[in-house]
Amino acid sequence: MTRFALLLSIVLAGCLPLAALATDFAQPQPGLHTGGQPSPDDLARLKSEGVRTIIDLRGPQEDRGYDEAAEARRLWLEYITLPIAGKDDVTPANAKALGALLKAQDGGVLLHCASGNRVGALLALDAVASGASKEEALELGRKAGLKSLEPVVVERLATPEQND
Q: Which pLDDT tens digits describe the chain residue by residue (164 residues)?
A: 554 444 444 444 444 444 444 468 999 999 999 999 999 999 999 999 999 999 999 999 999 999 999 999 999 999 999 999 999 999 999 999 999 999 999 899 999 999 999 999 999 999 999 999 999 999 999 999 999 999 999 999 988 665 45
CA 68 – CA 56 distance, rounded (Å): 9
Continuous segment of H or E residues that includes residue 29 = strand 26-29
Contact 84, 90 (CB under 8 A): yes
CA 140 – CA 67 distance, rounded (Å): 30
Query: What is the pLDDT at residue 162?
Result: 52
Contact 27, 51 (CB under 8 A): no
Cα–chain center distance at 156: 20
Continuous segment of H or E residues that includes residue 12 = helix 3-12
Question: Which pTM was predicted?
Answer: 0.84
Query: What is the pLDDT at residue 23?
Result: 67
Cβ neighbours of residue 145 closer than 8 Å, sequence gap 6 or more = 26, 34, 35, 36, 113, 115, 116, 117, 119, 120
Q: Is 27 helix (H, G, I), strand (E, B) or coil?
A: strand
Tell the CATH topology of 23-163: Protein-Tyrosine Phosphatase; Chain A (3.90.190)
Domain ranges in the chain are 23-163
Query: What is the pLDDT at residue 159?
Result: 81
Helices in 13-133 by DSSP H: which ranges? Answer: 40-48, 68-74, 92-104, 117-129
How close are the terminal C-alpha atoms of the chain, in Å? 54
Contact 98, 122 (CB under 8 A): yes
